[in-house]
Structure 1
């Protein structure tokens, strides 16, 4: 008889875990049910950049996770046959206005490339060369180009992964669920039995594990982005993503669409209302580089809630004292980069068993659970 697996949360970790439980060898021995409440999910509101290699975070475990996460996404894009509207390796350009900062960034890129060949080529660009690659810009800055960087549509990625998994062994159920004090899953129709449960509910993780007498060091952060209509250059689908210093990311998509964002609001909690102040902040940032943009060009606003830990590092693994429960959280703004790898690792340990050592990717779970 097939084992029954539950996943709570249909964001990037939950959707990735469901996909790998359906596609890794041995996954056909499992029946998987994913429960998702459908509100506030960070992934559905995210359009992001996959370019972790020049991060100056001191946490080497996070860097290893993000670096290998970028590689995982490259493989996933081919394996799941993702369209370029979902994942596109356009390259990224990281800009600096100070000459020394730009030089130091170029040296760092050359060093990081030694053990990260998926970075691709590294080039130093003048402001004119940056404009040549991103014609949308009116005020370009010099920068470093990394060919391995990519842009990604979080909502479309999750939808595609779940659609493919549903063709194999996944059932998706919309609605809120909870756990009892023994770790059993409770739905609107009562208790349901599962052999193992992955809890990937973002900042709602605390609420879910509270009946177990557990607290998690994770907090919500509101993020908002805007979509704008821009001139539809023939090359726009292949334009690199711009990561400016001190400003919001500038992400050209194809077909005359530009995404700018996202904000980081630590005070709004779970509030999902778009605010005029955040919208103006994003527009002002975009106008630093494309001064023709106006409020009338905004076609859509998205809001989601990220989960952060005090040290800004994600965690994942089997919950101590509750062997059938696996947890993941605290991905923050790097969820689209790290989430697919975390989902694959969790799916792998369910399929193949054992107690894998993930200390190269994360600190002990006891750092976040009490």
Structure 2
């Protein structure tokens, strides 16, 4: 009899886990049901930059996870045959206005490439060279170009991964579920029996685990981004993405589409409304580099809710108190970078068992769950 597995949450971790459960050896012996009501999901509201290598975060476990996550996503894009409108390795430009800071960033990039060959080519660019690569900019800053950087459409990525898994062993249920005090999944059709359950519900994990008396160190954070229309420059779909110093990310797509964002609103929590304050914040960032932009260029806004832990690090693994439950949360703004690797690790341990050592990627689960 095939093993029955549930995944709660269809964001980047849940969708990646579902994909790997359909492609890893042994996945054909598993029937997977994924539950997600689609409300507030951070991944579906995100357009992200995959470029963790120049991060100044001191948490080396996080950096290792993000570095290996970027590699995982590169491999996943090839194996899942993702089109360039979903994932595209366009390169990244990280800007600095201070000459010494720019030099220090270039030195850091050279050091990081020694154990991160996927960074690819590294170049220091002046303002004019940045504008040559991103000609829609009316003002630019000097920066470091990393050819291995990429952009990804979160909603499209999740859709593609789930669609491929549905051809093998996945059923998707668009509903919100709960857990009882024993960790059994309670659906609209009543309690359902599953051999193992992956809980990848972002900031909603607290609500799910509360019936079992488990508290989770996770808080919700609202994020909003803008999709703008600009003139369709030649080869725009291949332009690099930009991470400007002190401003929101600038992400060009093809056909005159420009994404700016996203905001980080701790007060907004689960509020999914589009606010004028966030819209103005994003427009101000965009206008710092493209001065012709106005409200008339806004196509739409997207809002989602991220999950953060108190030390800004993600966690994932199997609950000792309830061994049939595997959890993941706290990915914050790095979800599109770290999520595919976390999903693959959870899928692997679900299929093959054992107690893998992930201490190079994270602190013990007891740091975040009590």
TM-score bracket for the superposition, by shorter chain length: over 0.9
- Alignment map for 1:22-41 (pairs within 5 Å): 22-41=22-41
Q: Which residue of 1 aligns with 2:84?
A: 84
| Aligned equivalents of 1:172, 1:204: Cα separation in 2 | 19
Normalised to the residue count of structure 1, the TM-score between the two structures is: 1.00
Quick one: distance in 1 between partners of 2:37 and 2:58? 35
RMSD: 0.4
* 1:271 maps to 2:271: yes
Query: How much has 1:189 moved relative to structure 2?
Result: 1.2
Aligned partner of residue 158 in structure 2, secondary structure: helix
Q: Distance in 1 between matches of 2:269 and 2:303?
A: 12
Structure 1, residues 118-158: CA drift from partner, whole Å, max 9, x if none? 00010000100000000010101110000000000000000
Q: Does 1:347 align with 2:347?
A: yes
- Within 5 A, what are the aligned runs for 1:170-249? 170-249=170-249
Aligned position for 2:363 = 363
Question: 1:249-284 CA distances to partner (integer Å, 9 max, x unpaired)?
Answer: 000001110000000000011000010110011001
Structure 2: which 5+ residue stretches go unaligned? none
Which residue is 1:93 aligned to?
93
**Structure 1: 4+ residue segments shifted above 4 A:** none
Tell me how far 1:24 sits from its aligned partner: 0.7
- State the alpha-carbon separation in 2 of the partners of residues 214 and 54 from structure 1: 36
1:108 CA drift (Å): 0.3
Structure-1 separation of matches of 2:136 and 2:109: 26
Q: Aligned partners of 2:369 and 2:224: how far apart in 1?
A: 29
Aligned to 1:307: 307
Please state how far the C-alpha of 1:234 moved relative to its aligned partner: 1.4
Deviations 1:153-178 (A, max 9, x none): 00000000000000000000011101
Distance in 2 separating the partners of 1:284 and 1:174? 37
> Which residue of 1 is the match for residue 296 of structure 2?
296
The whole-number CA distance in structure 1 between the counterparts of 2:231 and 2:24 is 42
CA distance in 1, matches of 2:72, 2:189: 37
1:137-152 map, 5 Å: 137-152=137-152
For the residues of structure 2 that align with 1:310 and 1:54, how far apart are their CA atoms?
A: 22
Distance 2:353 2:364 in 1: 19
The 3-state SS of whatever aligns with 1:160 is helix
For 1:152, what is the secondary structure of its paired residue? strand
DSSP 3-state at the match of 1:258: strand
CA distance in 2, matches of 1:13, 1:60: 21
The separation in 2 between residues aligned to 1:69 and 1:97, in whole angstroms, is 29
Deviation of the 1:235 alpha carbon: 1.2
CA distance in 2, matches of 1:2, 1:93: 48
Partner of 2:71: 71
1:281-302 per-residue CA deviation (whole Å, 9 max, x = no partner) reads 1001000011011110000100
The 2-side partners of 1:93 and 1:231 are apart by 21
* Residue 337, structure 1, aligned to residue 340, structure 2: no
Query: What is the alpha-carbon distance in structure 2 between the residues aligned to residue 25 and residue 253 of structure 1?
Result: 35
Q: Report the Cα offset of residue 339 of structure 1.
A: 0.2
What SS does the corresponding residue of 2:289 show, helix, strand or coil?
coil
Q: Distance in 1 between matches of 2:269 and 2:228?
A: 26
Q: Deviations along 1:306-329, whole A, 9 cap, x unmatched?
A: 000000000000012100000000
Residue 169 (structure 1) aligned with residue 169 (structure 2) = yes
- CA distance in 2: counterparts of 1:15 and 1:214, whole angstroms: 25
Match of 2:116 in 1: 116
Alpha-carbon distance in structure 1 between the residues aligned to 2:31 and 2:193: 12
- Distance in 2 (CA, whole Å) between partners of 1:300 and 1:56 is 32
Deviation at 1:38, TM superposition (A): 1.1
1:184-219 deviations in whole A, cap 9, x for unaligned? Answer: 111111110000000000000000000000100000
Distance 1:159 1:215 in 2: 31
CA distance in 2, matches of 1:38, 1:146: 34
The corresponding residue for 2:135 is: 135
Q: Provide the rounded CA distance (Å) in 2 between the counterparts of 1:228 and 1:38.
A: 24
